[in-house]
Structure 1
Amino acid sequence: MLDHRHKIVVTQRFFDSIASDFLQNHGCEVVVAELAPGQADGDLSERQLIDLLADADGWIVGHANVTSSLLNALPRVQVIARRGVGYERVDTAAVAAAGKVATIATGGNDASVADHTVALMLAVCRQLKRCQMGLSGNDWSIPLGGDLYRKTVGIVGLGRIGRGVLQRLFGFEVRPLIYTPHPGGAEADGDFVDLDTLLRQSDFITLHAPLNPQTQGLIDERALNLMKRSAVLINTARGGLVRDADLLRALREKRIAGAGLDVFESESDPSLLPVTEQLIQLPNVIVTPHVGASTVEGLNRTNLIAAQCAVAVLEGRSPPSHCVIADGRRAVGCESRVDNRP
C-alpha cells in the first residue's frame, strides 16, 4: 500500500470502475481526462498533455505520443502505463533516460483481437458487405461467398494474438502456415515456412507482427503480387505493416479477392487518408475503426493490468517483466526491455 496518495491521470476512454477502485484502494487519486466526443488522447497536443499531467505521478495512456520533450516537461510522472500492447508511439529510450518506467497491458486484449480477426475472415469470404449493401437497396440477389472451412491460412507473427487466432481456426479444420522471423523454439500445430511460401500458398493471410523497421511495409506491391487471386488479406495488427496504396491497386485490379482491415497507414500518416477512404468504399473490403481490442471485457482486462503496473511502480516494485518496455530506475545505466510479440 502507498504511504501517501499518488495522482494517476487516465487519458483513455472507457476506464471502468473495477480498475478505478483498484487504484483508489491502493491509495491513488484517479483523474480521468474529459475528452471531446470522438476525441482520443492521440489527438491532444503536447501542451494539452502537459497541462493534464503536470501534477500526475502516473499516467495511463492510450495512443498519445510519449516523446522525450513531453517526458522532460513532466518530472513528477514516474510511470507511463499503456492500456494496450503496441508501443510504437512510446520513445522507450527517452523513458529510460528520464528514469521512468513504461509498461504495456500484455495479455489483456489478445482474445478480443483474435476473435475480431476470425470475424473479419468470415465477413469477407461470405461477402457480408455486399449482402448488406444489396438489402439496403432492396436487392435480394445472393452473392456467392466462400468457405473458411479447410482453407490454407497464413499467419504472419506467432505472438499471443497469432496463437489465439491459430487456436480458433482449428474448428474450421484449416491448414495453417506460419511465418515468424525467429521460429527457434516456437511450437505450434502448423507448418513453419518462409514468407514468400506463405504468400503464394495461403487462401487467407492474417497479420500479427509488431510494427518496427523490419516489418514496415511488409505487405507491399511485391508481396501482393505473390498472393493468389482468390486470397484474402486480414490486418488487425498495425497499419504500417501494409502499403495501403499498393493494396488498393491490387484490389481494384482483382489481383487479390478481398481484405479485412481494422488498421490503416493513415492512422500515423494523415496524408494517406484519401487511400483509406477509397479502401472503405470497395465492396470486397470489410473495414472497422481499429476496434479489434475494444470489447467491454478486453478493455476491462487491459485497464486493470495498466492499473496494476502503475501501482507496482509507485510502490517501488517491478511490474511483471512481460509488461515492461522501459525501466530507467536501474542503478547502473538505463535499461529498456522490449517485448516484440504483438
Structure 2
Amino acid sequence: MKIVICEFMDEASVKDLQRRFDVVYDPQLVDKPQELMRELADAMALIVRNRTQVRGELLAAGPQLKVVGRLGVGLDNIDVAACEARGVAVIPATGANALAVAEYVISTAMVLLRGAYLSSGAVGAGKWPRALLSEGRESAGKTLGIVGFGGIGRLAAKLARSLGMRVIGYDPMLDADAPAWRESGATCCSLDGLLREADVVTLHVPLTDATHKLLDAARIGMMKPGAVLINTARGGIVDEAALAEALREGRLGGAALDVFEHEPLAAGSVLADVPNLILTPHIAGVTRESNERVSAMIAELVAGRLLGTTTTEHSCQHLALPT
C-alpha cells in the first residue's frame, strides 16, 4: 500500500510509516503538481499540510485514495464534500497543535501589550528610548476576548487566567450555559460586546462564507483604543487593509498575524512597514513538540485506516495534551 507525503513531516513518523508501507516522501512535492499527480495514480493515502489543494484535478489523480491525512486542523484546502462522495476519509490532527497555538497567542499578546521588545535596533544603535518604552502595559488585569471557544480557545483561556487576565468569549456554536464557559472561568458574550470590552482579541474560527472578513473596518472600529488583535486562525477573517489603517492611525495598540488571505504575502503588501504589527509565516501551531505530536497522530490514524486496526479515539487519547 502506497502513501504519498507531499509536505514536511516529522522524520520519526515518516520512518515509522516506511517500515510498514511503500512511502513517497518529498516535502517539496507540493510545488511539483504534475509529479504529485503521477505519484497519486496508485496511492491509497495522501498526507498534506495546508498548502496542498486537495480538490478537483489533484483529487481525480488518485483513483485508489482511501484517506487524506491533514498535518494540522484546518480543512479549507481540502474539498471534504468531494472526498466524502468518493469514500475518501479526511483525518485532521485535532488537538495535537493546540498548545503551540495557545502559547503563541499569549506570548505574542504579552509582547504587544508591553511594547518593549521591538526596539532592539534603536537601542543597539546607541539610542535610549527609555521614556517611550516605559508606557508598556501588564497582562494581569487585562481582558482577553476569544472569538471561537474550541480546544485552542479554551487552552488560551487557561493560560491567560494563570496570568491574572479576565477572559470573555464568543462562540455561536456554544449555548450561554454550556459547561465550557463555567469550567474555563470565561464569560460568554456577543461578538460586538467582546470587541468593545477586550484589551486583547484572539481569533479561533474556521474560514467560511460567514467568517470571511468577520473583522472588517466597522468591527475593527469597535475595538477599544489601544487594543491588540491576534489572528492565528485563517487568513481572510481579518480585513488586512482595514487593520493596517487602524494601526497606522494609532487606533490599535498592536496586532499579530500568522495567517493571510494570500500566502505567502506578496512584496508591497498593505501589511508592509505597518507599525506595531508582528507578521509570522503560518507557524503558530508548528513547534518541535507539536510537529512530533501532529505527525505521530496522523501516521497512526492513516496507518490504522489502511490496515483497519486503530481508531481516532484511541489516537487522540494516546497523544493527549498536558493539562
Using structure 2 for the length normalisation, give the TM-score. 0.88
Aligned to 2:3: 8
* Structure 2 counterparts to residues 120-269 of structure 1, below 5 A: 120-142=108-130, 143=133, 144-184=135-175, 185-188=178-181, 189-267=185-263
Q: For residues 234 and 134 of structure 1, what CA distance do their matches in structure 2 show? A: 25
Amino acid at match of 1:287: L
Q: For residues 323 and 252 of structure 1, what CA distance do their matches in structure 2 show? A: 46
Instruction: Report if aligned partners of 2:70, 2:93 keep a CA contact under 8 Å in 1.
Output: yes
Aligned to 2:41: 54
State the secondary structure of the residue aligned to 1:94: helix
Aligned to 1:315: 307
Aligned to 2:101: 113
Aligned to 1:87: 75
Aligned to 2:321: none
Deviation at 1:16, TM superposition (A): 2.1
Q: Which has the higher contact order (CA 8 A, sep 6+)?
A: 1
Amino acid at match of 2:64: R
Instruction: Report if aligned partners of 1:123, 1:286 keep a CA contact under 8 Å in 2.
Output: no
Runs (5+) with no aligned partner, structure 2 = 317-323
Runs (5+) with no aligned partner, structure 1 = 1-5, 325-342
Q: For residues 246 and 160 of structure 1, what CA distance do their matches in structure 2 show? A: 29
State the secondary structure of the residue aligned to 2:90: strand
Deviation at 1:236, TM superposition (A): 1.1
Amino acid at match of 2:105: T
State the secondary structure of the residue aligned to 2:167: strand
Amino acid at match of 1:196: D
Instruction: Report if aligned partners of 1:106, 1:323 keep a CA contact under 8 Å in 2.
Output: no
Q: For residues 73 and 64 of structure 2, what CA distance do their matches in structure 1 show? A: 24
Q: CA-to-partner distance for each residue in 1:102-146, whole Å, 9 max, x for gaps?
A: 110111100011111111101211224532232343323222321
Change (3 A) 1:107 1:179: same
Aligned length: 307
Q: For residues 314 and 144 of structure 2, what CA distance do their matches in structure 1 show? A: 28
State the secondary structure of the residue aligned to 1:265: coil
Deviation at 1:285, TM superposition (A): 0.9
Instruction: Report if aligned partners of 2:241, 2:270 keep a CA contact under 8 Å in 1.
Output: no
Q: Compute the RMSD of aligned alpha carbons.
A: 2.2
Deviation at 1:20, TM superposition (A): 2.5
State the secondary structure of the residue aligned to 1:173: coil
Change (3 A) 1:85 1:147: same
Amino acid at match of 1:97: A
Q: CA-to-partner distance for each residue in 1:227-271, whole Å, 9 max, x for gaps?
A: 11111001111111101011111111222121011111222xx7x
Q: For residues 308 and 243 of structure 1, what CA distance do their matches in structure 2 show? A: 38
State the secondary structure of the residue aligned to 2:262: helix
Change (3 A) 1:76 1:257: same
1:103 and 2:94 equivalent?
Answer: no
Deviation at 1:278, TM superposition (A): 4.1
Q: CA-to-partner distance for each residue in 1:304-323, whole Å, 9 max, x for gaps?
A: 11111211211135742799
Deviation at 1:83, TM superposition (A): 0.4
Q: For residues 73 and 283 of structure 1, what CA distance do their matches in structure 2 show? A: 45
Q: For residues 315 and 67 of structure 2, what CA distance do their matches in structure 1 show? A: 12
State the secondary structure of the residue aligned to 1:217: coil
Identity among equivalent pairs (%): 36
Q: For residues 318 and 226 of structure 1, what CA distance do their matches in structure 2 show? A: 48
Amino acid at match of 1:62: R
Instruction: Report if aligned partners of 1:156, 1:207 keep a CA contact under 8 Å in 2.
Output: yes
Q: Which one of the candidate residues 257, 261, 266 is aligned to 1:273? A: 266
Aligned to 2:54: 66
Aligned to 1:332: none
Instruction: Report if aligned partners of 2:42, 2:63 keep a CA contact under 8 Å in 1.
Output: no
Q: CA-to-partner distance for each residue in 1:34-64, whole Å, 9 max, x for gaps?
A: 52xxxx82x443x232023233221111120
Q: For residues 44 and 245 of structure 1, what CA distance do their matches in structure 2 show? A: 32
Deviation at 1:222, TM superposition (A): 0.8
Instruction: Name the stretch that deviates more: 87-96 or 311-320.
Output: 311-320
Q: CA-to-partner distance for each residue in 1:40-91, whole Å, 9 max, x for gaps?
A: 82x443x232023233221111120010322222112221100000010100
